[in-house]
């Protein structure tokens, strides 16, 4: 499949990114998705304050470039949780300070390592060079993904109906919508075929993203069948776009 498909379902709070993760040498290299990025994303450069972060590990280094608060003045000294099976969890003072301090942009290193392990264990990620980015909820992840991929005037395929929160972000951004009907198993291949085959060649080139909610679709409640998504829809997408 040559197109980027965004399918961020609720509670899957990560963006797959191409970054510095290590993987066995035999794993395939990811496709180069540079051409799918929005013009805004292509112009982005690393923030200088973030680029300097690794230098902070050097003993005695003092950073005058950012306003890192002194941990001695953090107002919370301990934090504990009780979960519904009765287990009590307590953060060590060091863990609590880490939570209250500025952290690396993709997320807290310990949390990232655990998320990556879970993704690898459950999904056996096939590519080398992948990473995760923690976001503040699904909506934050969605808006980051949309901004990363879409220019004003680009076309996004959306389920009809789809999640109103995503539409609220997308509508003022100037993208164009291509609605496709869903049934109890998500987008129907016939409806996708009818929608994309009606596009002009110029619009096909600008049809970059398919936004789908495969599990617990909001608001229809549908759950996508694997065969339909992996085989039928991918075939339509590759054939027509
Ligand atoms: C499909 C879908 N995506 C995203 C969200 C937003 O989730 P969050 O509260 O994690 O930002 C919701 C919330 O109902 C949703 O139904």
The number of the ligand 1 atom at minimal distance from the alpha carbon of 137 is 10
**DSSP conformation class of 228:** I
pLDDT-based confidence at residue 23 (cuts at 50, 70, 90): very low
Q: Are 104 and 53 in contact (CB under 8 A)?
A: yes
The number of the ligand 1 atom at minimal distance from the alpha carbon of 216 is 1
Domain 3-20+136-240 is in which class?
alpha beta
* Mean pLDDT along residues 36-62: 88
Nearest protein Cα to ligand 1, atom 2: 10
The two three-digit tokens of residue 68, written as one number: 């890192």
The two three-digit tokens of residue 241, written as one number: 């776009």
| Whole-number percent of the chain with pLDDT over 90 | 48
pLDDT-based confidence at residue 26 (cuts at 50, 70, 90): low
Nearest protein Cα to ligand 1, atom 13: 10
Helix (H, G, I), strand (E, B) or coil at 73: helix
Could you count the other beta carbons within 10 Å of the beta carbon of residue 139?
Answer: 17
Q: Which residue has the tokens 């339909």?
A: 228
Distance CA 224, CA 188 (A): 10
pLDDT-based confidence at residue 7 (cuts at 50, 70, 90): very low
Residue 138 CA to ligand 1 centre (angstroms) = 5
Residue ranges lining ligand 1, Cβ < 6 Å: 10, 137-139, 163, 165, 213, 218
pLDDT-based confidence at residue 81 (cuts at 50, 70, 90): very high
Nearest protein Cα to ligand 1, atom 7: 138
Strands (E), the chain: 5-6, 79-82, 88-91, 155-160, 176-183, 186-187, 207-211
Distance CA 155, CA 168 (A): 16
Nearest protein Cα to ligand 1, atom 12: 10
- Alpha-carbon 28 to chain mean position: 21
Helix (H, G, I), strand (E, B) or coil at 169: helix
Pocket test for ligand 1, best of 11, 15, 138, 222 (most atoms within 8 A of CB): 138
Q: Are 115 and 17 in contact (CB under 8 A)?
A: no
Q: Are 2 and 239 in contact (CB under 8 A)?
A: no
Nearest protein Cα to ligand 1, atom 3: 10
Q: Domain boundaries in the chain?
A: 3-20+136-240
User: Is the overall model pTM greater than 0.85, yes or no?
Assistant: no
């Amino acid at each position: 499949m040559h197109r980027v498909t965004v399918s961020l379902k609720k509670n899957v709070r990560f963006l797959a990114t191409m970054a510095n993760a290590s993987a066995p040498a035999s794993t395939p290299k990811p496709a180069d998705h540079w051409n799918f990025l929005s013009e805004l994303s292509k112009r982005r450069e690393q923030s200088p304050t973030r680029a300097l972060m690794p230098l902070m590990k050097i003993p005695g280094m003092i950073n005058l470039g950012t306003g890192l608060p002194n941990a001695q003045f953090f107002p919370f000294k301990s934090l504990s949780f009780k979960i519904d099976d009765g287990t009590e969890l307590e953060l060590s003072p060091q863990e609590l300070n880490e939570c209250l301090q500025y952290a690396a942009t993709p997320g807290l290193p310990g949390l990232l390592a655990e998320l990556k392990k879970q993704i690898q264990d459950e999904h056996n990620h096939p590519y080398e060079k992948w990473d995760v980015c923690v976001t503040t909820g699904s909506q934050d992840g969605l808006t980051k993904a949309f901004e990363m991929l879409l220019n004003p005037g680009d076309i996004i395929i959306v389920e009809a109906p789809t999640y109103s929160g995503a539409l609220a972000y997308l509508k003022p951004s100037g993208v164009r919508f291509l609605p496709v009907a869903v049934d109890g198993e998500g987008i129907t291949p016939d409806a996708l075929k009818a929608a994309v085959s009606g596009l002009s060649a110029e619009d096909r080139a600008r049809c970059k993203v398919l936004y789908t909610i495969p599990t617990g679709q909001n608001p229809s409640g549908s759950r996508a069948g694997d065969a339909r998504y992996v085989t039928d829809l991918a075939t339509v997408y590759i054939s027509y776009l």
